[in-house]
């Protein structure tokens, strides 16, 4: 038995680009509540997805597991996430004069349809605008993948990834964000 209807009905409405009145503590509490209401494989999948937001982020093994995941949302969302990350890496490789394909992980031979969009976002000179633009792409994909869903696990997982995007921005004020991205860019430049 699942509690999808109950879980979905109790979720707050998230609005892209705002904190939606949430704090980081609220986000953690919501995730704990959702987790407590899921069962079995659903809980395992949620834990796997949440784990991808810890530390250095998802690795190749994570993307491989998502590529063979039975859940359509997880499979498609993280395929898109990998494509965005590869496009970002390719853009940085070109900008830094690194060889093509360095640090990219390709699990499919298909062409990434949003490559030009990612490149346009990355061409912005403001680092925070770039990150916001990439997060907006991920947000839009999470919404698109559940467009015709109502009360199923995919809707819950879409909410979770959008909540993680919201939570990320709640934890950064503008100055902290700029400093964080300056450090990130310097690290990348030093690892050439």
CA distance 34 to 49: 13
Task: Give the list of residues 6+ apart from residue 22 with CB closer than 8 angstroms, or none.
Answer: 12, 30, 163, 166, 167, 170
pLDDT at 181: 59
pLDDT per residue, tens digit, the chain (192 aa), is: 578 999 999 998 888 876 556 666 688 999 999 999 999 999 999 999 999 999 888 999 999 999 999 999 999 999 999 999 999 999 999 999 999 999 999 998 889 999 999 999 999 999 889 999 999 999 999 999 999 999 999 999 999 999 999 888 877 765 665 666 566 666 656 654
Residue 153 Cα distances to 58, 68, 104, 157, 189, angstroms: 21, 17, 30, 6, 41
| pTM attached to this predicted model | 0.86
pLDDT at 192: 45
pLDDT at 13: 87
CA angle 97, 80, 132 (to 5 degrees): 70
């Amino acid at each position: 038995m699942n509690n999808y209807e109950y879980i979905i009905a109790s979720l707050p409405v998230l609005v892209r680009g705002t904190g939606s009145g949430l704090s980081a503590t609220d986000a953690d509490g919501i995730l704990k509540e959702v987790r407590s209401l899921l069962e079995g494989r659903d809980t395992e999948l949620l834990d796997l997805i949440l784990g991808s937001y810890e530390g250095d982020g998802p690795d190749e093994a994570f993307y491989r597991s998502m590529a063979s995941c039975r859940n359509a949302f997880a499979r498609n969302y993280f395929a898109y996430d990998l494509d965005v990350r590869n496009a970002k890496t390719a853009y940085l490789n070109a900008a830094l004069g690194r060889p093509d394909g360095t640090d990219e992980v390709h699990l499919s031979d298909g062409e990434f349809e949003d490559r030009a969009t990612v490149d346009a976002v990355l061409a912005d000179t403001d680092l925070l605008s770039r990150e916001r633009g990439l997060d907006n792409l991920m947000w839009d994909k999470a919404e698109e993948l559940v467009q015709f869903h109502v009360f199923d696990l995919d809707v819950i997982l879409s909410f979770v990834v959008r909540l993680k995007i919201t939570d990320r921005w709640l934890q950064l004020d503008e100055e902290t964000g700029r400093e964080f991205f300056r450090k990130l860019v310097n690290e990348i430049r030093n690892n050439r």
